[in-house]
């Protein structure tokens, strides 16, 4: 009998424990006046994900400026995973990044935020007690009203002469020149030192100290997208151009002797009779680079600062040397023929030709043996040396002065 009573007491104690626990739960779940927060107060409320995983810029931010920094952080524990996607121009791109050594901070490999983009962040963290928390956030970046681009010379995949200068002409004035210069990379294979030079606020040229070696492959990387070029003006390009340097050809025009010597790889190919600028319209001295080649073009003196002295609609075999209008071109209209005898042009270098352009004329031969990027040097003309900014005239500037034109000291 005593044995039974002891069992009964044990059962009663167990029942009392169950009742006590049930009562606690009943109170915690709102069956008493304590309300729905009683369980949290009893066991401790779990922290919200936004308190565990902190993301900047803040979730829902708009018009985040380029100077903003994307960071994912936890105060304790560590980040288990971070997944960031950039949506831009209807394309989704995974943003690569890295964790700090303690695992508490994630940052992107490229610290610059893209403009006109939406970023989506998904992060999972583990706290010091082994509990996991997930966080989702998104924000959008600033959409600029104005963009700038750079027009590259020479053309992509072209074969050029050894005097070619890489030239970027910008469609807007650049005031943040150092930032833009950092975003342009020009490299060569085989390697050679290449340096930039600014001409004003809208043009940036690159060249080596000496003419390119034949066979060199040159690559131009434009990483201008979202680079600030001026207040409120940002770049829009992320593109690569390349070209190959062909054979070495340079021509020497002697305005006093009325001749042009054409040399290929140092060997004299031909000596052609020419006519240069007349005494009242002399030809520039100095090194000029063939900028473009036109089988036929119109030449109107009024477009280059003259009056109505000439307007020829069908000038054959024209090779542009300067932006101001200096050409080597075919001439079929001068009579008696001045080639090799006298200078009668308005500043250009004329070669004998026929109307419509003949392949067996001096002008036709020179055109067929030339490339954009070839050098034509004029000497013994009663004029100044062509300005380095006129066309691709940078070879008339010594290396020290050229390098001094960089914004990166």
Domains of the chain by start residue, with CATH: 49-140 (2.60.40.3780), 146-246 (2.60.40.3710), 249-393 (2.40.440.10)
pLDDT at residue 300, as a whole number: 82
Tokens at 66, concatenated: 């380029």
Rounded mean pLDDT, 107-136: 93
CB 354 within 8 A of CB 401: no
pLDDT at residue 48, as a whole number: 63
pLDDT digits (tens, 9 = 90+) for 245-292: 999 999 999 999 999 999 999 999 999 999 999 999 999 999 999 999
pLDDT at residue 404, as a whole number: 98
pLDDT digits (tens, 9 = 90+) for 42-83: 444 555 666 789 999 999 999 998 888 999 999 999 999 999
pLDDT at residue 291, as a whole number: 97
pLDDT at residue 393, as a whole number: 98
Residue-wise DSSP of 290-301 = --EEEEEEEEEG
Q: For residues 311 and 321, give the distance between their C-alpha atoms in angstroms, rounded to a whole number.
A: 19
**Tally of CA atoms within 13 A in the half-sphere of 356 that contains its CB:** 2
Q: How many helices (H) and strands (E) does the chain have?
A: 6, 28
Q: For residues 397 and 388, give the distance between their C-alpha atoms in angstroms, rounded to a whole number.
A: 7
- Count of all residues that appear for the chain in the document: 409
Give the active site residues: 329, 348
Give percent of the chain with pLDDT exceeding 70.
86
pLDDT digits (tens, 9 = 90+) for 205-260: 999 999 999 999 999 999 999 999 999 999 999 999 999 999 999 999 999 999 99
Q: For residues 325 and 284, give the distance between their C-alpha atoms in angstroms, rounded to a whole number.
A: 11
- Which three-class secondary structure state does DSSP give residue 324? coil
Q: What is the pTM of this model?
A: 0.77
Q: What share of the chain is helix, strand, coil (3-state, %, to 5)?
A: 15, 40, 45
Give percent of the chain with pLDDT exceeding 90.
78
E strand spans, 44-131: 53-56, 71-74, 78-88, 91-94, 97-99, 105-108, 118-126
Which residues share a beta bridge with 176?
none
């Amino acid at each position: 009998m005593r044995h039974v009573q002891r069992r009964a007491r044990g059962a009663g104690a167990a029942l009392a424990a169950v009742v006590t626990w049930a009562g606690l739960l009943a109170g915690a779940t709102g069956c008493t006046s304590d309300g729905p927060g009683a369980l949290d107060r009893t066991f401790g409320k779990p922290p919200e994900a936004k308190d565990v995983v902190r993301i900047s810029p803040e979730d829902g931010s708009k018009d985040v400026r380029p100077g903003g920094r994307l960071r994912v952080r936890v105060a304790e524990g560590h980040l288990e995973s971070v997944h960031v996607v950039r949506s831009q121009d209807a394309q989704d791109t995974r943003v690569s990044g890295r964790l700090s050594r303690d695992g508490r901070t994630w940052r992107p490999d490229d610290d610059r935020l893209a403009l006109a983009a939406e970023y989506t962040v998904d992060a999972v963290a583990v706290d010091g007690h082994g509990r996991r928390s997930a966080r989702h956030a998104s924000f959008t970046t600033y959409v600029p009203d104005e963009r700038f681009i750079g027009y590259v010379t020479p053309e992509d995949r072209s074969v050029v002469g050894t005097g070619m200068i890489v030239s970027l002409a910008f469609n807007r004035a650049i005031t943040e020149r150092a930032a833009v210069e950092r975003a342009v990379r020009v490299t060569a294979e085989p390697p050679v030192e290449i340096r930039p030079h600014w001409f004003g606020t809208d043009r940036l040229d690159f060249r080596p100290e000496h003419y390119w070696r034949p066979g060199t492959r040159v690559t131009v990387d434009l990483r201008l997208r979202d680079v600030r070029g001026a207040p409120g003006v940002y770049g829009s390009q992320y593109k690569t151009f390349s070209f190959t340097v062909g054979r070495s050809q340079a021509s020497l025009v002697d305005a006093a002797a009325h001749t042009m010597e054409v040399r290929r790889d140092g060997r004299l190919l031909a000596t052609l009779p020419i006519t240069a600028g007349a005494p009242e319209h002399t030809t520039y001295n100095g090194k000029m680079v063939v900028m473009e080649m036109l089988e036929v073009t119109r030449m109107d003196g009024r477009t280059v600062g003259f009056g109505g002295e000439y307007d020829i609609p069908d000038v054959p075999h024209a090779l542009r040397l300067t932006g101001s209008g200096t050409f080597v071109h075919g001439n079929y209209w001068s009579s008696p023929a001045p080639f090799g005898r006298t200078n009668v042009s308005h500043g250009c270098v004329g070669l004998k030709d026929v109307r419509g352009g003949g392949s067996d004329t001096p002008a036709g031969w020179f055109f067929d043996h030339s490339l954009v990027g070839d050098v034509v040097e004029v000497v013994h003309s009663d004029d100044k040396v062509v300005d380095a900014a006129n066309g691709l005239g940078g070879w008339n500037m010594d290396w020290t002065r050229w390098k001094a034109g960089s914004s990166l000291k």
